[in-house]
Amino acid sequence: MAQGRVSGSSEREATMTVRKHPLADKASLSGVRKKIRADLTKAGADASLSFDCLVAVTEACTNALVHGHRRDDPPPEILWEIDGHSARFYVQDYSTHQWSKTSHPSRDAKAELEERIGGFGLDLMRGLMDEVDIQIGPDGTTVCLVKELVAAEAI
């Protein structure tokens, strides 16, 4: 996991930024990333921590669009909360399709790594973020990603 810190506490943004954004398609992720990057910068997160967040969020959003969204489903959404201490991202899809409730169909544990197509996203998100929680329910899936922006001893 990448380590990083926010700027000194006197420079740290004391207020929390909360935003919610629909995910129309993969192209809309560019605008979402720009807003998240700006909010992380405002909160004082360093570039390394911001990069970790942006990669993990992009993966979660892409998964929601590709695997958790069908024509009749409402579009997925992302909500984020960022303050000077942590960043929390909630990616929600509203798919009721049964296959989305299981592991990724291309992730065959018996397959050689060279032969696998996809199925690395959850491992990627877990490697970049401090917490990854997935809640699967009858109304869809919510992925919660958390990144601490300050080392524990600095708080």
CB atoms within 10 A of CB 7: 15
Question: Is the Cβ–Cβ distance between 61 and 78 less than 8 Å?
Answer: yes
Distances (CA, A) of 79 to 5, 20, 23, 43, 57: 23, 4, 10, 16, 11
Question: Is the Cβ–Cβ distance between 96 and 114 less than 8 Å?
Answer: no
Q: How many domains does the chain have?
A: 1
Q: Would you say residue 14 lies in a domain?
A: no
CA distance 77 to 24: 9
Q: Would you say residue 1 lies in a domain?
A: no
Q: Would you say residue 119 lies in a domain?
A: yes
pLDDT for res 66: 87
Residue ranges of the chain whose pLDDT lies below 50: 1-13, 99-102, 104-106, 153, 155
Q: Would you say residue 3 lies in a domain?
A: no
Q: Would you say residue 15 lies in a domain?
A: no
**Strands of 131-137's sheet in order across:** 17-22, 77-82, 86-93, 140-148, 131-137
pLDDT for res 108: 53
The domain that holds 124 is classified in CATH as 3.30.565.10
Can you give the residue range of the structural domain that contains 49?
20-154
Q: Would you say residue 139 lies in a domain?
A: yes
Q: Would you say residue 7 lies in a domain?
A: no
pLDDT for res 26: 87
CA distance 27 to 33: 11
Q: Would you say residue 12 lies in a domain?
A: no
